[in-house]
């Protein structure tokens, strides 16, 4: 825990079969690099669903939540390329959340990811305790609590936003499918979360872009 927790942009979506090839080409060749090049961004990571309601997930980590209010991010968000505008309009049931990383146990990136959507508010201390418990199990990599910022989590063009407070999420990364399934099962029992599962596609870091 720090006084200035890191931030994370969480974007999940479906895409139509006829648009999928162009969507992936755009994401892989333009979108991830554009976002990671923004001041304060640390990494951009793509995932493909193994068992989830939305087929694709992108996670973008930043040094702090303030990076989503800086001029560079505002420019990137408001001056999209034509390719970006086209693909944003083709997203199906998208979900966009700008979050604080309020708790984190472990380090690194796992090949498999579980996203637990918390059905009720969870405390940082409870998630840290769960992370400590999970860290002793085979295949554990990281456990993190994401708390969405209501004001910054503006919806995507085709996003349907239900009324009420945005739900917290717990991200669990592991080195194998079997491990992440077991870790998610144990965490869900304590935190009352509903789990969805993704597999790592690829990652780009800001350090790689400047090296």
Buried b (16+ CB within 10 A) or exposed e, 59-78: bbbbebbebbeeeebeebee
CATH number for the domain spanning 102: value is 3.30.70.100
Give domain status of residue 2, yes or no.
Answer: no
Q: What is the pLDDT of residues 16-51, one digit of tens each?
A: 999 999 999 999 999 999 999 999 999 999 999 999
Taking 50 as the threshold, does the pLDDT of residue 135 lie above it? yes
Cβ atoms of 140 and 104 within 8 Å: the answer is no
Q: What's the confidence (pLDDT) of residue 1?
A: 40
Q: What's the confidence (pLDDT) of residue 77?
A: 79
* pTM for the full predicted model: 0.95
Domain span at residue 79 reads: 7-210
Average pLDDT value for residue range 128-145:
98
Q: How confident is the model at residue 9 (pLDDT cuts 50, 70, 90)?
A: very high
Q: What's the confidence (pLDDT) of residue 117?
A: 98
Give domain status of residue 1, yes or no.
Answer: no
Q: What's the confidence (pLDDT) of residue 2?
A: 42
Please tell me whether residue 46 adopts helix, strand or coil conformation: strand
Give domain status of residue 194, yes or no.
Answer: yes
Q: What is the pLDDT of residues 88-127, one digit of tens each?
A: 999 999 999 999 999 999 999 999 999 999 999 999 999 9
Q: What is the pLDDT of residues 65-96, one digit of tens each?
A: 999 999 999 998 788 999 999 999 999 999 99
How many domains does the chain divide into?
1
Taking 60 as the threshold, does the pLDDT of residue 59 lie above it? yes
Q: How confident is the model at residue 211 (pLDDT cuts 50, 70, 90)?
A: low
Nearest to 134 by CA among 101, 172, 97, 167: 172
Q: What's the confidence (pLDDT) of residue 207?
A: 93
Cβ atoms of 201 and 161 within 8 Å: the answer is no
Written as six digits, the tokens of 60 are: 């973008």
Give domain status of residue 103, yes or no.
Answer: yes
Give domain status of residue 182, yes or no.
Answer: yes
Q: What is the pLDDT of residues 173-210, one digit of tens each?
A: 999 999 999 999 999 999 999 999 999 999 999 999 87
Q: How confident is the model at residue 3 (pLDDT cuts 50, 70, 90)?
A: low
Task: Give the N- to C-terminal CA distance of the chain in Å, as an integer.
Answer: 29
């Amino acid at each position: 825990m720090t006084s200035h927790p890191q931030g994370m942009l969480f974007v999940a979506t479906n895409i139509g079969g006829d648009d999928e090839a162009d969507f992936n080409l755009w994401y892989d060749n333009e979108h991830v690099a554009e976002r990671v090049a923004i001041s304060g961004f640390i990494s951009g990571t793509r995932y493909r669903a193994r068992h989830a309601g939305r087929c694709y997930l992108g996670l973008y980590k930043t040094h702090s939540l303030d990076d989503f209010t800086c001029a560079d991010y505002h420019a990137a968000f408001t001056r999209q390329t034509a390719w970006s505008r086209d693909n944003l309009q083709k997203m199906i049931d998208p979900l966009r959340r700008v979050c604080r990383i309020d708790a984190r146990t472990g380090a690194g990136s796992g090949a498999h990811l579980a996203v637990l959507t918390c059905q009720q508010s969870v405390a940082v201390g409870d998630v840290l305790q769960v992370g400590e418990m999970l860290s002793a199990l085979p295949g554990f990599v990281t456990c993190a609590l994401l708390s969405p910022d209501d004001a910054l989590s503006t919806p995507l063009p085709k996003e349907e936003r239900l009324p009420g407070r945005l739900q917290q999420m717990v991200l669990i990364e592991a080195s194998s499918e079997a491990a992440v399934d077991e870790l998610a099962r144990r965490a869900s029992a304590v935190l009352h979360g509903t789990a969805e599962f993704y597999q790592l596609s690829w990652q780009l870091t800001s350090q790689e872009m400047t090296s």
